[in-house]
Structure 1
Amino acid sequence: FDSRKPSEYIASILLLSSLVARRPYSLHNYIDWIYYLTSDGRRFRHACDIVHRFTADVIQKRRMTLSNLGQDAWLKPKQDKTKDFIDVLLMAKDEEGCHLSDEDIAAEVDTFMFEGHDTTASSLSWVLYNLAQHPHYQDQCREEIQELLHDRDIEEIEW
């Protein structure tokens, strides 16, 4: 597994976020074939290729591992833990009892990674900004956290 890939993947996700936010500001960018001729359009396609290849590679490797070990053997060590998102998707079945295709799983993973990253960052920024603007609520949050953590050892705290 190439150690460069995760950072290249993350950089591509960040680039895609910025390109998507910038695209609506130029009228010619609304027409796909024109947009793809621009430098931003070429960078967008290249970043999409990186993201799709990375996702496909992860899905293929996990599916192979799951297939080789079998579902029960794969899940046994994870019995009391939360399953990975990819594991949930690999084991999911549709209404007819068929497993999701690699393309279906990739679409879900890409949506989760792309939208989840942007939404989480925006939400956290908004919450922190508002807490900074309203010290009373900041104090209430601090008191509630201290109350919840009262008499608990920090090592036993889990999400």
Structure 2
Amino acid sequence: MTATKRTTPLAGLGHVPWPDIKDSTGSAAAIPSLLTTLARGDAASAGPALGQLRRRICQFGFVVDQATAATVPFLWELVRLPQVTCRAEILRLLKSIADARQWETTAAAYPKLHHHPDDYVGWEREARHAVHAQRDVLRQLLREPTPDAEMMRATSELAAALDD
């Protein structure tokens, strides 16, 4: 008899030095707990957890931080899990991150920003690249056996943003 190996969702969380990187509140140490809450699939706690996560990694829907790029692969992992109740909202968060140009735009007008000790422009660029790096997941989502209208819409919107 062959045992099927099951991978634990978000198994790689421990490989990221969360306390040493920044989110919009300071230390990103709370991000693993928020991601774990989303992975559990409990709708009542998922909404508030996603709201907190959004404020930490994509504040106001367009300001990313150092922890954003590190968080993105876990967001992609979550949208592939059918038990996650807020997958469409996670796709919208990924779209916001992909669209983020706050620091880049500001640095174009104020080049001194490129010399700031915190690499805001670099963090924003890394976050966008992290979203683009796994865009092939969108094809998998579009082929799901029982398509959900909200998921299909969010998937299509993110796909369009990544194609631009």
Q: Structure 1-normalised TM-score?
A: 0.30
Q: Which has the larger radius of gyration?
A: 1
Q: Structure 2-normalised TM-score?
A: 0.29
Bigger fraction of residues in helix: 1
Bigger fraction of residues in strand: 2
